[in-house]
Amino acid sequence: MCKLTLTAGLCLIIASLGYPGLTDTAAVPPNPCDGGISGLYPNPADPHSFYNCGNGIAYLQNCPSNLVFDPTCSCCNYPPVTTTTNPTPIDNFCNGKNNGQYTNPTAPNYFYNCWDGNTYLQNCPLNLVFNQTCSCCDYPPNSNAK
Asked if residue 42 and residue 70 are part of one domain, the reply reads yes
Q: What angle do CA 104, 113, 66 make, to 5 degrees?
A: 80
Domain that holds residue 92: 79-146
CA distance 98 to 117: 8
Q: Which CATH number do you get for residue 39?
A: 2.170.140.10
3-state SS assignment for residue 119:
strand
Residue 146 sits in the same domain as residue 87: yes
In whole angstroms, what is the distance from residue 94 CA to residue 100 CA?
9
**Distance between CA atoms of residues 41 and 38, nearest Å:** 9
pLDDT in tens, 62-112: 998 878 898 888 888 887 765 544 556 677 888 899 998 999 888 888 888
User: Does any domain span residue 73?
Assistant: yes
H helices of the chain, where? 2-17
| Tens digit of each residue's pLDDT (9 = 90 or more) over 88-99 | 667 788 889 999
pLDDT at res. 114: 87
